[in-house]
Amino acid sequence: MILGAIEAGGTKFVCAIGDEQGNIHERAVFPTTAPEETMAHVIDFFRPHRIEAIGIGSFGPVDLRPDSPTYGYITSTPKQAWAQFDFVGTMKQHFPVPIGFDTDVNAAALGELRWGAAQGLDSCLYMTVGTGIGVGAVVEGRLLHGMLHPEMGHMFVRRHPDDAFAGICPYHGDCLEGMASGPAIERRWGKKGAELADRHEVWELEAFYLAQAIANYILVLSPEKVITGGGVMKQTHVLPLVRRHVQELLNGYVQHETILEKIDEYIVLPGLGDNAGVAGALALAAAANE
Amino acid sequence: MILGAIEAGGTKFVCAIGDEQGNIHERAVFPTTAPEETMAHVIDFFRPHRIEAIGIGSFGPVDLRPDSPTYGYITSTPKQAWAQFDFVGTMKQHFPVPIGFDTDVNAAALGELRWGAAQGLDSCLYMTVGTGIGVGAVVEGRLLHGMLHPEMGHMFVRRHPDDAFAGICPYHGDCLEGMASGPAIERRWGKKGAELADRHEVWELEAFYLAQAIANYILVLSPEKVITGGGVMKQTHVLPLVRRHVQELLNGYVQHETILEKIDEYIVLPGLGDNAGVAGALALAAAANE
């Protein structure tokens, strides 16, 4: 089966031609500028191929309610040019094939479950820490949706007693995204995370916030694997700190061997690296064609 | 269909004979003492009836993994007499019929979805605030399970700046259950909640903690309805305070009419009152017999 995949992010679109086994035959990256421009690149990329279905994992907020008049739209995003953009409808005009549509983080969670770090499991959580903080989840083999799609990145967390930073979330100030996203790190310390690699206190604080949210996700969803990706997690010294804080917070309460004794195998980096999202979009395409 | 239902709580067992429409024909309550004694009452209650299936919603922790050697057990509960009690096995010895088994709060969530405040919806969250704080959830029509069952009552919450109370959770101190359960109220204020009805500051603080957890549940699960039951919620002046705090915390971020404008219909008391759990156990029985 020839499938098209789009991981639509706020800074770039990753497109791929691949198949239902997660193989990626061809891959291209386009910057996220105006919809007309970016979508023209996307359409040109797919046109030569006889694609049988398309999967889209998109930045949001997006409308995922199949019975909604704006199903398949990017809705009230602060990226003005993309607000109320009919993503699925635009693709359908050019490619009249089945189209699967979900959030970028849900696509990544699905990709990791099928072919990555959570392969063979029934559930996982995928958290990306970068420009924003987004989280997708698979529960009993199915992507987690609700009344709206989850917005776990905005979880309310406890402030560190030594941290006076106000937070940068325009809605909540010091929610998780407001305290621990890439731009929050830069605003608090006056430098980008990549330039702070050797400052232990930066990453201790980062882990303090990420671990609280992960502990709460575990208490709510009890996933079989927690996968952490995105630019901030490329500071690979963060993850061991996160694991330690999660264990300390839960304090033996969640009595499962993998948390008590094998946390290095429980909270992990993406098995698919930067291809989790686009691979997940292939899985969305395959599912749409079933 | 003649179905048996058990809502097994830490202080009492509610048993019922009913049917797959949620009708309760007969109901009895037994105190939770030693397993031999309590279970003898339960078995005597069901024996005269030709029950075709049994549903059990039990206090926990319980083992819900079908492939586990201790499936159907109450596991490491602090109620020593019940630790490692083979609940499903004991019932099966006396009644060789299909048995559905889940947590007490999951049963209540299912009962409310079928016949209560969330009737006709695909998802809901049921939170009980009493001796402990427990939460069950239905997601796309199915009860939420994970690697272990969720333990949302222990969510980490922000301490109120004027609250010096240490919290009573033996694992986490000041997690939600440690700060806002019935015993936490009693320990903090020196009186039971029922004797503090006219003390506004008690319920403002209670709502401050409950609302944080509910806001986080909304961010993670995006349920279509949030149902709050248990002894503490019988202080009916608490719920309006909780709703106001949830709206303030989310601050317009979750852009759904029901949260922005109809929160009185979104965060509600149980439609089935104290029968949510036992009605849900009937639904578990019906599902086990399918």
pLDDT digits (tens, 9 = 90+) for A123-142: 999 999 999 999 999 999 99
Bridge partners (DSSP) listed for residue A134: A128
Q: Which of A142, A146, A156 is nearest residue B215 as measured by Cβ atoms? A: A156
Asked, as a colleague might, if the bond just before A170 is cis with ω within 30 of 0, I would say: no
Phi and psi dihedrals of A110, rounded to 5? -65, -40
The answer as to whether B112 is a domain residue is no
Q: Tokens for A127?
A: 């958290």
- Of all residues in chain B, the one with the smallest CA distance to A136 is B220
Phi and psi dihedrals of A14, rounded to 5? -105, 120
d(CA A145, CA A140): 12
State the Cα angle at A201 between A200 and A204, rounded to 5°. Answer: 90
- Nearest chain A CA: its distance from B229 CA (Å): 18
State the Cα angle at B184 between B187 and B264, rounded to 5°. Answer: 135
| Shared domain check, A256 and A127 | yes
| Shared domain check, A237 and A125 | yes
| Shared domain check, B176 and B142 | yes
The answer as to whether A198 is a domain residue is yes
Which residues of chain B are within 8 Å of residue A149 when distances are taken between CB atoms?
Answer: 222
| Shared domain check, A135 and A206 | yes
Q: What is the pLDDT of residues A65-90, one digit of tens each?
A: 889 999 999 988 878 899 999 999 99
Q: Are B158 and A239 in contact (CB under 8 A)?
A: no
The ipTM of this complex is 0.93
Total count of domains within chain A: 2
- Of all residues in chain B, the one with the smallest CA distance to A226 is B147
Among candidates A274, A181, A194, A193, which has minimal Cα distance to A227? A274
DSSP string for residues in A254-290: S--HHHHT-HHHHEE--TTGGGHHHHHHHHHHHHHT-
From residue A99, alpha-carbon distances to A47, A92, A157 in Å are: 15, 8, 37
Interface of B with A (CB under 8 A): 61, 76, 123, 139-140, 142, 144-152, 154-159, 171-172, 212, 215-217, 219-224, 249-256, 258
The answer as to whether A284 is a domain residue is yes
State the Cα angle at A175 between A195 and B174, rounded to 5°. Answer: 115
Q: Are A224 and A118 in contact (CB under 8 A)?
A: yes
- Spans in chain B with pLDDT lower than 50: none
pLDDT at position B257: 85
From residue A271, alpha-carbon distances to A235, A266, B138, B179 in Å are: 16, 12, 30, 39
Which residues are CB-contacts of A206 (< 8 A; sequence separation ≥ 6)? A180, A185, A232, A238, A241
pLDDT at position A54: 98
The answer as to whether B110 is a domain residue is no
Q: Which of B150, B159, B251 is nearest residue A220 as measured by Cβ atoms? A: B150
Among candidates A216, A67, A255, A245, which has minimal Cα distance to B78? A255
d(CA B184, CA B173): 10
Interface of A with B (CB under 8 A): 61, 76, 123, 139-140, 142, 144-152, 154-159, 171-172, 212, 215-217, 219-224, 249-256, 258
- Which CATH number does the domain housing residue A133 bear? 3.30.420.40
- Of all residues in chain B, the one with the smallest CA distance to A246 is B156
Q: Is the pLDDT of residue A259 over 90?
A: no
| Whether A255 and B61 lie within 8 Å, measured CB to CB | yes
| Shared domain check, A122 and A99 | no
Phi and psi dihedrals of B68, rounded to 5? -90, 145
Q: For residues B90, B92, B93 and B97, what is the CA-based torsion angle, rounded to 10 degrees?
A: 160
CB pairs under 8 A between A and B: 118
pLDDT at position A14: 97
| Shared domain check, A137 and A41 | no
Amino acid at B167: G
| Whether B146 and A123 lie within 8 Å, measured CB to CB | yes
- Nearest chain A CA: its distance from B79 CA (Å): 16
Q: Are B243 and B18 in contact (CB under 8 A)?
A: no
Q: What is the pLDDT of residues A149-199, one digit of tens each?
A: 788 999 999 999 999 999 999 999 999 999 999 999 999 999 999 999 999
| Shared domain check, B172 and B33 | no
d(CA A153, CA A83): 20
d(CA A54, CA A51): 7
Distance of CA B19 to the CA centre of its chain: 21
- Of all residues in chain A, the one with the smallest CA distance to B76 is A255
pLDDT at position A150: 82
For B69, the 3-state DSSP assignment is coil
From residue A268, alpha-carbon distances to A23, A218, B38, B68, B147 in Å are: 22, 14, 45, 26, 16
| Whether A222 and B151 lie within 8 Å, measured CB to CB | yes
Residue A18 pLDDT grade (very low, low, confident, very high; cuts 50, 70, 90)? very high
Bridge partners (DSSP) listed for residue A159: none
End-to-end CA distance of chain B: 11
- Of all residues in chain B, the one with the smallest CA distance to A224 is B147
Which residues of chain B are within 8 Å of residue A150 when distances are taken between CB atoms?
Answer: 219-222
DSSP string for residues in B80-94: GGGTTEEHHHHHHHH
Q: What is the pLDDT of residues A270-280, one digit of tens each?
A: 999 999 999 99
| Shared domain check, A42 and A26 | yes
Which residues are CB-contacts of A3 (< 8 A; sequence separation ≥ 6)? A17, A18, A19, A20, A51, A52, A53, A54, A55, A282, A285, A286, A289
| Whether B158 and A157 lie within 8 Å, measured CB to CB | yes
| Shared domain check, A239 and A132 | yes
The answer as to whether A109 is a domain residue is no
Which residues of chain B are within 8 Å of residue A260 when distances are taken between CB atoms?
Answer: none
| Whether B171 and A217 lie within 8 Å, measured CB to CB | no
Phi and psi dihedrals of A134, rounded to 5? -125, 150
d(CA B267, CA A253): 28
Q: Tokens for B31?
A: 């105190």
Q: Tokens for A55?
A: 């999967």
d(CA B109, CA A4): 40
Q: Tokens for B193?
A: 């909640």
d(CA B179, CA B186): 10
pLDDT at position A149: 78
| Whether A150 and B219 lie within 8 Å, measured CB to CB | yes
| Shared domain check, A259 and A145 | yes
Which residues of chain A are within 8 Å of residue B216 when distances are taken between CB atoms?
Answer: 155-156, 216, 220
Q: Which of A156, A255, A256 is nearest residue B216 as measured by Cβ atoms? A: A156
DSSP-derived letter for residue B171 is T
| Shared domain check, B239 and B171 | yes
Residue A254 pLDDT grade (very low, low, confident, very high; cuts 50, 70, 90)? confident
pLDDT at position A78: 77
The answer as to whether B282 is a domain residue is yes
| Shared domain check, B282 and B192 | no
The answer as to whether A52 is a domain residue is yes
Range of the domain at B73: 3-104+274-288
Q: Which of A150, A216, A258 is nearest residue B155 as measured by Cβ atoms? A: A216
The answer as to whether A111 is a domain residue is no
Q: Is the pLDDT of residue A255 over 80?
A: no
Residue A260 pLDDT grade (very low, low, confident, very high; cuts 50, 70, 90)? confident
DSSP-derived letter for residue B195 is G
Which residues of chain A are within 8 Å of residue B210 when distances are taken between CB atoms?
Answer: none
